[in-house]
Structure 1
Amino acid sequence: MIRMISFRALPAWLLLVSAGLASPAIARPASAVAKMHDEASLIAAEDARFAAQVHRDFAAIEAGLGDELVYSHATGRRQTRAEYLGALRSGGADYRRIDPSQRSSRVYGDIGVTRAVLAMQVGERTMLSSVLGVYVWRDARWQLVSWQTTPLPGA
């Protein structure tokens, strides 16, 4: 006779481990995991990406972008990681200033979500946008995997 196992009876962490979806961080104390990738480190990573964009530090930009990146601009244009990096290198997106405000961040395991209002100068154009970023913690750093920009009135 085969006995069926109810998934409800198993702890959630056991299900994740058996499915191969659990982070290696599960084996570490929660305090150690929090220090590695908490909300403050997520905001710091986003700030570093903004600075790299303004200073055209392509090595830093590349390190902070996941291979699966989808970057959605305020115009509605969507770019892959390769397309976005190509636009930055060609000068098509000349970020001169990025000033975030009204920021918030949340970390859910190895996923981080940020929200902010950005006052930006791109080339000669000044913009005010609401942004949403989704990051994944991998290779001991936050990597941006999705970015959504919505234009705001007043810029």
Structure 2
Amino acid sequence: MRFKRAFRATPMLALTAAALIAAAGQARAQPDGAPASSRKEAPMSDEAQQSVARAVLEADDRRRAATMAGDADALEALLTPDFTYTHNTGFREGRAAYVARVRNRQVEYVSMERLFAGVRVHGGVALVDGLASMTNRAPPAGPLRTSKTLYLAVWVLSNGQWRMAAYASTLARSD
């Protein structure tokens, strides 16, 4: 029981654990069939890390733009088929439901701003965590709601394209 309470009290800890599990699973799936433990990977140079970080943040810029524009097709192309979104309210949905809500304009996104982002690259997985501010209206005729959130996004390299596999956020403390 204490374990469950700890994860309720610290959702970002749970999200970090989920991201690391996803990264571990991705690392095991080697294209040459060799177990991850038998492959020696050269460390990525700082320049290569920065290049990947830029590519991931550019993909995230496209995701935010597609969401705000209600461009469900562009958004769907940036998400993996098994994508999950855990909202800061505790609501969780998969790709089909999330894309449908964007397509049907069930939520009007007025602004989505990335205030800070750190990118950590582990092979074909990039973990992005940071601080964001979002203003939306749900349902669209409702009052505007602005929230600052801490978030963790898991991006995976799939067929040469960075696609988001998971996004989870929690309200940032105001102090």
Same fold (TM over 0.5): yes
User: Partners of 1:56 and 1:91 in 2: how far apart?
Assistant: 7
User: Partners of 2:173 and 2:110 in 1: how far apart?
Assistant: 20
**Number of aligned pairs?**
130
Counterpart of 2:148 in structure 1 is 128
- 1:31-71 Cα shifts (integer Å, max 9, x gaps): 8xx49x71110111111111111111222101100001111
Of 101, 110, 113, the residue aligned with 1:99 is: 113
Report % sequence identity. 26
User: Partners of 1:110 and 1:87 in 2: how far apart?
Assistant: 29
Give the 5 Å matches for 1:17-56: 17-19=32-34, 34=48, 38-56=52-70
Work out whether 1:140 is the aligned partner of 2:160: yes
Q: CA RMSD in A?
A: 2.3
Counterpart of 1:76 in structure 2 is 90
Bigger share in helix: 2
Query: Considering only CA atoms, is the larger Rg found in Structure 1 or Structure 2?
Result: 1
Counterpart of 1:149 in structure 2 is 169
Please give the secondary structure, in 1, of the residue aligned with 2:99. Answer: helix
Work out whether 1:112 is the aligned partner of 2:126: yes
The Cα of 1:18 is off from its aligned counterpart by 3.1
Taking structure 1 as reference, are residues 89 and 20 closer, same or farther at Cα in structure 2, changes over 3 Å only? farther
The Cα of 1:153 is off from its aligned counterpart by 3.6
**Aligned residue identity for 2:74:** A
User: Partners of 2:109 and 2:102 in 1: how far apart?
Assistant: 9
Please give the secondary structure, in 2, of the residue aligned with 1:49. Answer: helix
TM-score, length basis structure 2 = 0.67
Unaligned runs of 5+ in 1: 1-14
User: Partners of 1:45 and 1:98 in 2: how far apart?
Assistant: 14
Unaligned runs of 5+ in 2: 1-28, 138-143
